[in-house]
A and B are shown apart, each in its own frame.
Chain A
């Protein structure tokens, strides 16, 4: 079991937050002991591996709410697939590392509502603005470390973006990606998965490991279409101990 004081959520969401990740061989009594000490924490997140019904039942009894499944997708680059039509379109779309003005555009798109299915936005306890600020802060924090952000470009117009970082040797994690509002209905969403693959190829990498929420079946389907396979899945439960009045 991993227990993390998610102190950054104080800045993002104005709540004290603890995130607990249950591992496969953890026993229920360990979680019971911890949960008894968390009644004063504003926001508790518990990530549970599949088929741990004992833990699911326990969390439900305590008033936790199931908010999403988090699916790990993996791709060995040699298995990447694009249909002939996608290959044709992809050839006219490029990507490049973002500069300051590109980041400003990205942050504006996030504030406008780029992400619609994340567990913060879908949680009635939080606001759209808080969810957007959380994403922007997350990207800014990551850019201070080893992450790069890229814009996806069609005819000199940025149509979307992806973030990109190496998580272990030859393995990359494009942890956020999306199409900008003007292109939301263009059918070009596949490029937000494809361009990170091309960046892995450029760096002579081998694998991509990333996550998608079950609240976003469109993204789940897009990963499967391009050759990703499913790794682990976690069920995510949340509880607010300080209810809004």
Chain B
């Protein structure tokens, strides 16, 4: 539960969105999730969970939902 809260906070703060927008949230579905926003999101998640993601995972991180799956690889269960 603590991880979910952290995960959500990162999305809210990076993209200036609220929780009602998480369902179906994908890369470029909101204006702020562009190439620059993506770098900000990944950097913030790495900080929040104290991990360093592989390039392939950063490339694949294409949605709110997909991100939850990817973080499992780093022992972050949401």
Query: What residues of chain A have their CB less than 8 Å away from a CB belonging to chain B?
Result: 83-86, 89, 92, 154, 183, 185-190, 217-218, 221-222, 225
- Interface majority SS on B: helix, strand, loop or mixed? helix
Provide a sorted-by-A list of 12 A–B residue pairs whose CB atoms are within 8 angstroms.
Answer: A85-B43, A89-B55, A92-B55, A154-B55, A183-B59, A185-B27, A185-B62, A186-B59, A187-B35, A187-B58, A188-B59, A218-B34
Give 7 nearest A-B pairs by CB, closest first: A187-B38, A189-B35, A185-B27, A186-B59, A218-B34, A85-B43, A225-B36
Q: Which residues on B sit within 8 Å (CB–CB) of A187?
A: 27, 35, 38-39, 42, 58-59, 61
A86 to B46, CA, bound (A): 13
Shortest CB-to-CB span from B44 to chain A, Å, is 10
- Cross-chain pair count, CB within 8 angstroms: 44
Q: Which residues on B sit within 8 Å (CB–CB) of A84?
A: 43
CB-nearest residue of chain B to A182: B59
CB-nearest residue of chain B to A189: B35
Most buried by B among A89, A92, A185, A189: A185
> B21 within 8 Å of A by Cβ?
no
CB-nearest residue of chain B to A154: B55
> B28 within 8 Å of A by Cβ?
yes
18 other A-B residue contacts (CB within 8 Å) besides A92-B55, A187-B42, A222-B34: A83-B39, A83-B43, A85-B39, A85-B42, A85-B46, A86-B39, A89-B58, A185-B28, A185-B62, A186-B59, A187-B35, A187-B38, A188-B35, A189-B34, A190-B36, A190-B39, A217-B31, A225-B36
Shortest CB-to-CB span from A131 to chain B, Å, is 21
A89 to B42, CA, bound (A): 11
Proximity string of chain B (2-45) to chain A, C-beta cutoff 8 Å, 1 when within and 0 when not? 00000000000000000000000011100100111011001100
Shortest CB-to-CB span from A130 to chain B, Å, is 26
A85 to B54, CA, bound (A): 11
A148 to B36, CA, bound (A): 27
Shortest CB-to-CB span from A116 to chain B, Å, is 11
Q: Which residues on A sit within 8 Å (CB–CB) of B36?
A: 190, 218, 221-222, 225
Most buried by B among A183, A186, A221, A222: A186
Q: Which residues on B sit within 8 Å (CB–CB) of A86?
A: 39
Most buried by A among B36, B43, B55, B61: B36
Q: A92-B55, A185-B27 are in contact. Are A190 and B43 (CB under 8 A)?
A: no
Q: Which residues on B sit within 8 Å (CB–CB) of A217?
A: 31
CB-nearest residue of chain A to B56: A155
Shortest CB-to-CB span from A13 to chain B, Å, is 29
Shortest CB-to-CB span from A113 to chain B, Å, is 15
Q: Which residues on A sit within 8 Å (CB–CB) of B35?
A: 187-190, 218, 222
Q: Which residues on A sit within 8 Å (CB–CB) of B58?
A: 89, 186-187
A154 to B55, CA, bound (A): 10
Q: Which residues on B sit within 8 Å (CB–CB) of A154?
A: 55
CB-nearest residue of chain B to A191: B35
